[in-house]
Amino acid sequence: MIGSWPRLITVVAARILLFGILGLAFWATAPMLLGWTPTTVVTGSMRPAIQVGDVVVSQDPDGRQLRPGQVLLVDDPDQRGKLRLHRIDSQQPSGEIILKGDANAKVDSTPIPRESVRGVGTLRVPFIGAPIVWLRERAWLPLLVTGLGVAGLIALAFGRFARSGTPSTPAGESPSGTPGSGQRDSADREATDRDAADHDAAGPGTHHPDTPNPDATRPDSHPRTPGRGRRGRHRGIAGAAAGTATVTALLATAAVAIAPAHAMFSDTTSRGASFTSAAAPPYRDVVLADQPLAFYEAETTDPAKDSTGQSPTRSYGVTVAQGAGREPGGGALNLSAPLSTQTLTTFRPDPGPREFTLELWMKTTASGGRLIGFGGSAEGASGLYDRVVYLSGGRLFFGVGPWGPTMLVTAGTFNDGNWHHVVAARDAAGTRLVVDGKVISGPPGETQNYGGYWRIGYDNLGGWRADPLTTSFNGLVDDVAIYPRALTADQAIAHYQAGRPG
């Protein structure tokens, strides 16, 4: 059995942690009573200064003078029904506000009218909104681990562990804590035993004058109260129940009441409307932070060099175009040679990837060609092929399933000779095609079941909608990344904003 001191330290530590969580939840929700607006940061574009899952509380802007450097919560002008959390860069003579994310190279393209401002950033509560983010992204494992952790803290703080064990009674002290009563009780028992023996020898009905009356209550005796242990258990159970209810109520309130914001946000300060700027992270850092399984930057003469170091790759006719990359002086993968393709040589067994993201920057004046996708063969024309992004008539197509029964298509064309950012993702929640920060969403559809390889450039497109007839891509691609999970639309937008040309 654990001694009393280690148990006491454990219980106190558990209660401190538990009340710390309650305190964060309180500060994230209590300002609503003052009419302030809490929002959860759901993008990682400002890590590590502001983490995904932080809650930022904004004050009502009415009557406040707005000035550059303040962080505003506004209605997102580019995504209907959503919120944006950015910093004031400047104000136009008309009164419209120009915002800029600290991680962005350029200011936001759409000015914000004063009536679209919801609040001024005032208070940051770290991490308490993480469960909201996990719910949005259906990340059940961290939710489960966190729930079990909180339940464990409650059990340690208020449960049986906090009550188990009885401290040993020091010599000369009764369980009631009265000094010396232990010796008196022991001496009284010995005297009683001797007198009882004398009483028996004298015969029944005889009362020895020095023998204490067994029916009398001694003032120094401390009989055990029958219900004391039961009442202690009940108090412990009630405390655990109350702690669980309080934690659940506060976290549920936070989950329901705290709206998400697309935070190209900044800062580490916890109070005041003046948040300090953070340096914009390089595009490659933003990509690598989301843990792709392969990332091709074309910054060396080897087109197959993977910056993650975890995906063996083989190129067939692909070259590096030095100085032609998305960034000035950088390189790009040249796919213009007929049948040129680049293959991740790790075989993905049947049924193939069901959750994935394909990301790249492309530049071309050609009308069509295959950019990236999944195929049953490592080279040549695959017999089975889907999960593919291609260009046809200048428009971008993303489809899954045999011959693309689930298909997303852009309305505009992107073969204008400029660099364009393309993200295609699929998971159980749906499919997403995000081009230059503009989102097209659709149902998840069913991927085709077969084993194969991820391939960049040439492969089969026979039978697909608007077949461009040329399966090679006559153009350049740069910063090609493949992920083993689906990036959210917010993450895709954050990548575009971090990498778009200045």
Is this prediction's pTM over 0.95?
A: no
Q: Please answer whether residues 245 and 151 qualify as being in contact, where contact means their C-beta atoms are separated by less than 8 angstroms.
A: no
Q: Residue 200: its pLDDT value, please? A: 47
What range does the domain containing 49 cover?
4-154+256-263
Q: What are the two backbone dihedrals, phi and then psi, of residue 397, each rounded to the nearest 5 degrees?
A: -125, 140
Q: Residue 18: its pLDDT value, please? A: 74
Any domain includes 293: yes
For residue 27, the domain's CATH number is 2.10.109.10
Q: Which of 200, 230, 263 is the last residue of a domain?
A: 263
Q: Residue 67 to residues 77, 117, 274: CA-CA distances in angstroms?
A: 20, 13, 10
Calculate mean pLDDT across residues 141-155.
81
Residue 240 to residue 246: CA distance in whole angstroms = 10
Any domain includes 224: no
Any domain includes 172: no
CA dihedral sign, ordered 159, 162, 168, 173: negative
Q: Please answer whether residues 336 and 330 qualify as being in contact, where contact means their C-beta atoms are separated by less than 8 angstroms.
A: no
Any domain includes 213: no
Q: Examine the domain organization and report whether 150 and 290 are in the same domain.
A: no
Any domain includes 193: no
Residue 279 to residue 46: CA distance in whole angstroms = 9
For residue 420, the domain's CATH number is 2.60.120.200
Any domain includes 434: yes
Tell me the residue type at 470.
T
Q: Per-residue pLDDT tens for 408-430?
A: 999 999 999 999 999 999 999 99
Q: Residue 1: its pLDDT value, please? A: 45
Q: Which of 233, 263, 293 is the last residue of a domain?
A: 263
Q: Please answer whether residues 455 and 343 qualify as being in contact, where contact means their C-beta atoms are separated by less than 8 angstroms.
A: yes
Q: Report whether the peptide linkage leading into residue 209 is cis, meaning its omega lies within 30 degrees of zero.
A: no
Length of the chain: 502
Q: Per-residue pLDDT tens for 203-258?
A: 444 444 444 444 444 444 444 444 445 555 555 555 555 555 555 555 555 444 45
Q: How confident is the model at residue 24 (pLDDT cuts 50, 70, 90)?
A: low
Q: How confident is the model at residue 62 (pLDDT cuts 50, 70, 90)?
A: confident
Q: Residue 423: its pLDDT value, please? A: 98
Number of neighbouring beta carbons within 10 Å of residue 115: 9
Q: Examine the domain organization and report whether 347 and 484 are in the same domain.
A: yes
Of 21-35, 214-228, 350-364, which gets the smallest average pLDDT? 214-228
Number of domains in the chain: 2
Residue 142 to residue 137: CA distance in whole angstroms = 11
Q: Please answer whether residues 267 and 124 qualify as being in contact, where contact means their C-beta atoms are separated by less than 8 angstroms.
A: yes
Q: Which of 231, 263, 295 is the last residue of a domain?
A: 263
